[in-house]
Structure 1
Amino acid sequence: MSALLACVGLLAASAASADSRVFIIANQPDGYGVDQCLARGDKCGAHAARSYCQSRDFDQASSYRRIDPDEITGSVPKAGANCNHAGCDEYVAITCQR
């Protein structure tokens, strides 16, 4: 019986650790450099990515990087639509985990 409980516990732990989600957000340069850190995947973006994940009830950010609009399936607005600055067609993917 204890072996069965151990297996159930391991399966539950695996399912809990596998709970992750990728968020695609527009990279909007704001002059502070945080967006550029995220887009380049630099270490300086780790805090911003973690904060983003925590604001959505996740524990941590396991990765973050710039992605091309071609990598995104679904609707992505055309560059320049409702945008008046450079970089409107740039996106960042942040992978959050519980």
Structure 2
Amino acid sequence: MRISSALLACSVLLAVASTARAESRIFIIANESDGYGVDQCLAKGDRCGASAARSYCQSRDFAQASSYRRVDPEEITGSVPKAAGNCARGACSDYVAITCQR
């Protein structure tokens, strides 16, 4: 009886621990210059981009941004065309990955 109670207790603890893990999601967004410099903060991973990344996550019902960085189009498999010939007025958009957690 004691062994089965101990196994049950361990099973419950494992189930609780697995559900307690934070859900995370990576959002890929176009990093277009807005003239305020926020785009450079996000793309370079500078500290000044933390509030912008956090606001982006919170607007999507996530609690926080755990990371943000510039993403090369080659990292985004099949969804972003190559830069050659697809740049408007000679300016190509960069992309930023923001990882949000609940």
Question: Is the radius of gyration larger for structure 1 or structure 2?
Answer: 2
Deviation of the 1:78 alpha carbon: 4.6
Match of 1:26 in 2: 30
TM-score (norm 2): 0.79
Deviation at 1:75, TM superposition (A): 1.7
Residue in 2 aligned with 1:46? 50
How many residues matched?
94
Contact 2:57/2:65 (<8 A) preserved: yes
Q: CA RMSD in A?
A: 2.0
Question: Is the alpha carbon distance of 1:35 and 1:85 closer, same or farther for their aligned partners in structure 2, counting shifts above 3 Å?
Answer: farther
Paired residues of 2:72 and 2:94 also in contact (CA < 8 A): yes
Do the aligned partners of 1:54 and 1:60 also contact (CA within 8 Å) in 2?
A: yes
Identity across aligned pairs (percent)? 68
1:1-98 equivalent positions in 2, closer than 5 A: 3=9, 4-14=11-21, 17=22, 19-79=23-83, 81=86, 83-84=88-89, 86=91, 88-98=92-102
Structure 1 residue 37: deviation in Å?
Answer: 0.1
- Using the alignment, how far apart are the partners of 1:7 and 1:82 within structure 2? 51
> Counterparts of 2:14 and 2:34 in 1: how far apart (Å)?
49
Q: Give the structure-1-normalised TM-score.
A: 0.82
